Amino acid sequence: MAEKTKKESMRIVPPGKKKCVWMEAEVVSYKLCDNNFDCSTCVYDQGMQLKVARQKEAAASTLSSTTSGKFNQTWVDKMLLLPASRRKCRYMITGEVARKVCPNAYECGSCSFDAMMQDRLKTEISPAPNQVDVDGFKMAEGFYYNEGHVWARPEYGGRVRVGLDDFAQKLLGKLSAVETPEIGQELTKDKAGFRLKRNGEAVDAVSPVDGIVTHINQKLLDHPELINESPYTDGWLFVVEPTKLRKNLKGLLFGEKASQYMGEEKGRLFAEASEDFRLAADGGEPIEDIYEELGAETWSRLAKKFLKTSK
């Protein structure tokens, strides 16, 4: 009895968390979603799809409908075995709608309801991320970062929201203007994607992903200070429909690697900056506006170097 109680307790979904679709379909006994239900970029989903494909291939090669392997159905396969009235739409699973069954055999790409939901969700900012301090700079957990201090956050439908990290906003200081790409413009990873201006000086920043711009932060154009106030939320720059997302994400920094890189960048900044800046930073408090400590000429050189727009 004790063992049964223990197993049941392990299946409890904690407050604020939701079941992975693989758990909802009862393919696996316990798995919570940790990727905002964006299966297209989920490592777990990719691994499970591969397991099922291999299991099906093994079954076909032995001319048998069953195999000794555990996983021979995807979550979609399992859901389609249910009566039509129990086939939850994925937006019911995620909690976006209270009640909705799937009328389209989980072919979301051709579903008008899915298209409507994606249009509603694509510009909504996801819940504010947890932020950790790394050598005086804030980093948002669960975000991807390029080496030019631009972050990328995969969201519903596989789209990617883009912004500047805390290192960049402190290096740039109080911006006078932000020039974002146009809607429909194609961006190339590691190539200049937008421009930032300060007191007559300008610096470009590079895109973290390949894709087409679908939305820009109109509020930011009128209030560039949002980048300084909320670089990971209200200060976002634009949303991209990626064209090489899986490949791009593999080339970005995430988790411990991103934190390690941030620490290394602080060391490089101190080595490159003026003596006056090093003395100011030695006070213990993080400097909020590095521009004020460096001067225009040094700022321009370092901004271009750290945002990776100059070799």
Give the pLDDT confidence of 105-162 residue by residue, as tens digits: 888 777 888 777 766 655 565 667 889 999 889 999 999 999 999 999 988 667 899 9
Bridge pairing between strands 253-254 and 211-216: unpaired
- Kindly tell me if the per-residue pLDDT of 232 is higher than 80: yes
Mean residue pLDDT of the chain comes to 81
pLDDT of res. 126:
63
Question: Residue 149's closest CA among 264, 282, 72?
Answer: 264
Tens digit of each residue's pLDDT (9 = 90 or more) over 163-181: 999 999 998 988 999 999 9
pLDDT confidence band for 94 (50 / 70 / 90): low
Query: CA torsion, points 88, 94, 98, 100, in degrees to nearest 10?
Result: -30
pLDDT confidence band for 281 (50 / 70 / 90): low
Angle of the 296-306 helix axis to the 256-272 helix axis, nearest 10: 150
DSSP class per residue in 266-294: HHHHHHHS-HHHHHHHTTSSPPS-HHHHH
More confident residue, 298 or 73: 73
Give the integer Cα–Cα distance in Å for 169 and 190. Answer: 19
- Kindly tell me if the per-residue pLDDT of 242 is higher than 80: yes
Which domains does the chain possess? 2-121 (no CATH), 131-311 (2.40.50.100)
73 token code pair = 């159905």
Tens digit of each residue's pLDDT (9 = 90 or more) over 185-217: 999 999 999 999 988 888 999 999 999 998 889
pLDDT of res. 36:
61
Backbone Cα Rg of the chain: 23
pLDDT of res. 69:
53
- Kindly tell me if the per-residue pLDDT of 82 is higher than 60: yes
**With contact defined as beta carbons under 8 Å apart, do 164 and 150 qualify?**
yes
pLDDT of res. 129:
84
Question: Residue 143's closest CA among 121, 120, 163?
Answer: 163
pLDDT of res. 4:
46
- Kindly tell me if the per-residue pLDDT of 184 is higher than 90: no
Of 5-9, 61-65, 72-76, which one has max mean pLDDT? 72-76
Give the Cα-Cα-Cα angle 145, 166, 215 (nearest 5 degrees).
65
pLDDT of res. 287:
61
More confident residue, 293 or 79: 79
Give the integer Cα–Cα distance in Å for 98 and 110. Answer: 22
More confident residue, 309 or 147: 147
pLDDT of res. 291:
62
Contact partners, residue 151, CB within 8 Å, separation at least 6: 140, 143, 144, 145, 162, 163, 164, 165, 208, 232
